[in-house]
């Protein structure tokens, strides 16, 4: 049965340094709604930080586009990471269905992950993450929201996987 872990919010003391939050998994799956913004950012960041030490993939509840969001591509390029070749995919398109850790980035993804992992031996962590596509306004407002999302995911990854370096703008 899947073990659900919700890490404490940033800025709050850790819950005693639970080993479940510091162990390095062999594989991780990031899930968001469309696999075009948050989960591809997370996949790109974890691959940058951990290289081949962790197998990483990402998926969406739905995959309606055939490419990553252009703003997501732009803000990742700002930190030297290229996600321009990312192709959004749904669960049916995953090459593997066995992951040590599933990280969900939206409430809808969390519900889907819990449902799909009921009989699997894996951890599920929920990282509530801003959906920058919901932000309206001028280009600067929108790109700022995408940067905020990238930075939020970066901080979560650094904390969860004990990483002390990261790409900078």
Is residue 132 pLDDT above 50, yes or no?
Answer: yes
Query: pLDDT value at position 2?
Result: 52
Is residue 93 pLDDT above 60, yes or no?
Answer: yes
pLDDT in tens, 80-92: 999 999 999 998 8
**4 vs 137, higher pLDDT:** 137
pTM, whole model, 2 decimals?
0.84
pLDDT in tens, 156-169: 999 999 987 655 55
Report all structural domains of the chain as residue ranges with CATH numbers, in order of start. Answer: 3-160 (3.40.50.2300)
* Range with top average pLDDT, 23-27, 48-52, 80-84, 87-91: 80-84
- Give the DSSP letter string of 61-74: S----SS--HHHHH
Query: pLDDT value at position 112?
Result: 93
Query: pLDDT value at position 5?
Result: 52
**Using CA atoms, how far apart are residues 53 and 49, in angstroms rounded to an integer?**
9
**Using CA atoms, how far apart are residues 85 and 40, in angstroms rounded to an integer?**
10
DSSP code for 107: H
Q: Per-residue pLDDT averaged across 114-124, rounded?
A: 90
Q: Name the pLDDT band for 9 (thresholds 50, 70, 90).
A: very low
* Bridge partners of residue 31, in order along the sequence: 59, 104
């Amino acid at each position: 049965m899947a073990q659900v872990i919700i890490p404490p919010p940033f800025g709050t003391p850790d819950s005693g340094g639970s080993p479940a939050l510091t162990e390095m998994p062999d594989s991780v799956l990031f899930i968001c709604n469309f696999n075009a913004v948050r989960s591809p950012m997370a996949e790109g960041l974890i691959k940058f930080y951990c290289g081949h030490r962790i197998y990483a993939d990402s998926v969406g509840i739905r995959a309606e586009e055939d490419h990553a969001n252009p703003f997501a591509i732009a803000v990742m390029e700002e930190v030297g990471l290229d996600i321009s070749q990312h192709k959004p995919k749904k669960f049916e398109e995953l090459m593997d269905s066995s992951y040590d850790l599933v990280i969900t980035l939206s409430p809808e993804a969390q519900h889907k992950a819990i449902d799909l992992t009921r009989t699997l031996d894996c951890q599920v962590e929920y990282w509530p993450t801003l959906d920058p596509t919901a932000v309206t306004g001028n280009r600067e407002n929108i790109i700022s929201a995408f940067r905020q999302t990238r930075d939020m995911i970066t901080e979560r990854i650094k904390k969860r996987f004990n990483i002390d370096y990261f790409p900078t703008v």
